Amino acid sequence: MAQARGKRAGTTPRVRDPDATRAALLNSAVKLFAKQGYDATSVQEVVDDAERTKGAFYHYFDSKEDLLQQLHDNSVDYQLELVREVLKRDDPADILLRELVTTVLMEPMGLYKSEISVFLHEVRRLTDKGFEGVLAKRDEFESCVVEIIERGVRTGVFKDLGPPRLLAFGIIGMCSWSHNWLEPDGELTPRQIGELFADLLVSGVKAEG
């Protein structure tokens, strides 16, 4: 009976899924870093837990430090994409601020809570070179928040309460700190929490009249 070399009758060949491989390695890293710490976790433990090979690991990551940085980039890249879309809109600044808090800041906290928690705990492990990329993306995100605040002040929607950059720090920090207590399956969803935060912020910055 003729059959393709390397295949047995009644079997389905395993299809290589590179995206699934990278995701499996990242998921294992998050789990192990959270459980036993970055320093105590080896690359071999990550690949064993993910049921992948070291060759697969080094195809996607230059090092364990690169893996840690990409844990950060996954969430920040997603948030940057969202905030860029918000800035393209021609809505009043108070509506943009609500969208920033609910869709850009709080909803991703529900999706990436574990990754964000692990990264913030282990960020000191990054070398100066690794941290440069992190800072560049954070600076871009911060500038987007500043732009929303400045747009609101310029158009008379927001009160001029002080340096926009300082206000941006407060908004980002309030939402980002939720990684310590947020429960994605809790009484309120991340978006509902974001709506509460947005009400608080907009009522505080919106100009009267």
Q: Are 167 and 63 in contact (CB under 8 A)?
A: no
Q: In one letter, which amino acid is 200? A: L
Structural domains of the chain sorted by starting position, each given as residue range(s) with its CATH number in brackets: 17-61 (1.10.10.60), 63-205 (1.10.357.10)
**The amino acid at 42:** S
Q: pLDDT band for position 3 (50/70/90)? A: very low
Tokens of 196: 């509460």
With 0-12 CB in 10 A as exposed, 13-18 as middle and 19+ as buried, what is 92? middle
Confirm if 124 and 208 have CB atoms less than 8 A apart: no
Sign of the dihedral defined by the CA atoms of residues 52, 137, 122, 119, in that order: negative
Is the CB of residue 187 less than 8 Å from the CB of residue 122? no
Q: First CA to last CA across the chain, in angstroms?
A: 85
Q: Between helices 164-176 and 107-122, what is the axis angle to 10°? A: 90
For the CA atoms of 183, 185, 188, 191, the dihedral, rounded to the nearest 10 degrees, stands at 80
* pLDDT at residue 128, rounded to an integer: 82
What's the alpha-carbon Rg for the chain, to the nearest Å? 22
The alpha carbon dihedral of 104, 106, 107, 109 has a sign of positive
Give me the mean pLDDT over the 82-111 stretch. Answer: 96
Q: Is 64 left (phi over 0), alpha (psi -120 to 50) or beta?
A: alpha
Reported as a single tens digit per residue, the pLDDT across 105-151 is 999 998 899 899 999 889 888 888 878 888 999 999 999 999 999 99
Q: Give Cα separations from 167 to 34, 101, 120, 139, 204 (angstroms).
A: 31, 13, 21, 14, 11
Tell me the two tokens of residue 73: 């980039």
pLDDT in tens, 35-81: 999 999 999 999 999 999 999 999 999 999 999 999 999 999 999 99
Give the pLDDT score at 201: 95
Q: Are 205 and 158 in contact (CB under 8 A)?
A: yes
Residue 13 pLDDT > 80:
no
Q: Give 184-207 pLDDT, tens digit per residue.
A: 778 999 999 999 999 999 999 999
Give the per-residue pLDDT at 16: 52
